[in-house]
Amino acid sequence: MAPIKVLDEKEAKPARNGRQANLVHVPELGPASFADLTVVSTLDKRVLPRLETRAGVVLIGDVRKFGQRVGRRFSRFAFPDEVVPWIRPLQKLVESKDGRLGSPAGWAFDHVVSLRLECEEGWKVAPYALTLCVILKPGVVPSFEPDVLPEMPQEISEWLYEENGDVKPTAAQIADRLKRENEALDPVSRYWLWGGLVDAWAAICVAPEGAGRGVLNAVQDGRIRGDLCTTEEFSFERFRHSEELDLDHLSPPLPLRID
């Protein structure tokens, strides 16, 4: 058993999109009604016949989604403790006012189906070769074969990247440009701006100042790479070798120390 929580619309929309793993939408009770899996308990089956019931999930698509969201809550991957501090900046962005739905970052996150962390060689031993996979909803960007990607427009390239490949603008600046110019952008420019935003999100995932040696050495080459994907492109093989980032339920970071 779990209680029903009713949110205001500002909170309900991102929750319906899966932004909070503890809240699972119950569609037959309304657009703002959620099962709160923070509080779950058992109930003696002898009590059930005496209760008035109402179906909360009816349509097969909703049933499937409900099951997936409940399963996600109880099968979250436990990332290594040394990796969690690297992801905390992205978690803080989502939790901050800049990550709210009305902001450019919130607008961008609303187009994201899933954030997944891919470990190239598996989670056997550090340092881990990590990629932040940002999977967008269908239609947000066009799909291209990896070996036939269109050339990045010069203006976009000069605005986005330093000569060494580092991202120039902040993630907030890229999201703001995408939101403002979205309708006017040609598909190729939109694709590369989204790619730049993914790189910027990955770039903020760094070890905190004063982190111990275990944290500093946890990520290969000292950086997490970004990869823009669409739902059509993200293969089942990559799904098997990556883990969902439930940012609101990451374990707290280890106490910072100097080894």
- Predicted local distance difference test score (pLDDT) of residue 52: 86
Please indicate, yes or no, if residue 148 is contained in any of the structural domains: yes
- Predicted local distance difference test score (pLDDT) of residue 70: 86
Query: 101 and 212 share a domain?
Result: yes
Please indicate, yes or no, if residue 259 is contained in any of the structural domains: no
**Pair of tokens at residue 195:** 């790619």
Picking from 249, 167, 161, 258, the residue whose alpha carbon sits closest to that of residue 205 is 167
Domain boundary among 23, 50, 74: 74
- Predicted local distance difference test score (pLDDT) of residue 18: 75
Please indicate, yes or no, if residue 213 is contained in any of the structural domains: yes
Give Cβ neighbours of residue 154 (< 8 Å, ≥ 6 apart). Answer: none
Domain count, the chain: 2
Distance, in Å, from the CA atom of 165 to the CA atom of 135, rounded to the nearest integer, reads: 22
Render pLDDT for 98-146 as a digit per residue (tens, 0 to 9). 556 678 998 999 899 889 999 988 888 999 999 999 999 999 998 777 6
Query: 95 and 117 share a domain?
Result: yes
Backbone angles phi, psi at 10, to 5 degrees: -60, -35
Query: 11 and 92 share a domain?
Result: no
What CA dihedral angle connects 89, 91, 95 and 101, to 10 degrees? 100
Query: 142 and 233 share a domain?
Result: yes
Query: 181 and 218 share a domain?
Result: yes
**Pair of tokens at residue 113:** 């189906």
Query: 57 and 90 share a domain?
Result: no
Domain that holds residue 136: 84-249
Query: 159 and 105 share a domain?
Result: yes
Query: 66 and 88 share a domain?
Result: no
Distance, in Å, from the CA atom of 36 to the CA atom of 2, rounded to the nearest integer, reads: 6
Please indicate, yes or no, if residue 182 is contained in any of the structural domains: yes
For residues 23 and 37, the answer to whether their CB atoms sit within 8 Å is: yes
Distance, in Å, from the CA atom of 70 to the CA atom of 23, rounded to the nearest integer, reads: 9
In a 13 Å sphere around the CA of 187, the CA atoms on its Cβ side amount to: 8
CA 246 to mean position of chain CA atoms: 7
Please indicate, yes or no, if residue 257 is contained in any of the structural domains: no
Render pLDDT for 9-21 as a digit per residue (tens, 0 to 9). 888 887 887 777 7
Distance, in Å, from the CA atom of 127 to the CA atom of 67, rounded to the nearest integer, reads: 34
- Predicted local distance difference test score (pLDDT) of residue 98: 57
Domain boundary among 42, 74, 106: 74
- Which runs of E-coded beta strand occur in the chain? 4-6, 23-25, 33-36, 112-119, 130-136, 225-230, 242-244
Please indicate, yes or no, if residue 26 is contained in any of the structural domains: yes
Query: 51 and 108 share a domain?
Result: no
Domain boundary among 22, 44, 74: 74
DSSP 8-state code for residue 153:
P
- Predicted local distance difference test score (pLDDT) of residue 72: 74
Query: 109 and 8 share a domain?
Result: no
Query: 209 and 235 share a domain?
Result: yes
Please indicate, yes or no, if residue 205 is contained in any of the structural domains: yes
Please indicate, yes or no, if residue 109 is contained in any of the structural domains: yes
Query: 61 and 178 share a domain?
Result: no
pLDDT tens per residue across all 259 residues of the chain = 899 999 988 888 878 877 777 899 999 999 999 999 988 988 888 888 888 888 999 999 889 888 888 887 777 778 899 999 999 999 888 877 655 667 899 899 989 988 999 998 888 899 999 999 999 999 999 877 766 888 999 999 999 999 999 999 999 999 999 999 988 999 999 999 999 999 999 999 999 988 999 999 999 999 999 999 988 888 888 888 898 887 655 544 444 443 4
The three-state secondary structure class of 140 is coil
Handedness of CA 190, 192, 196, 202 (dihedral sign): positive
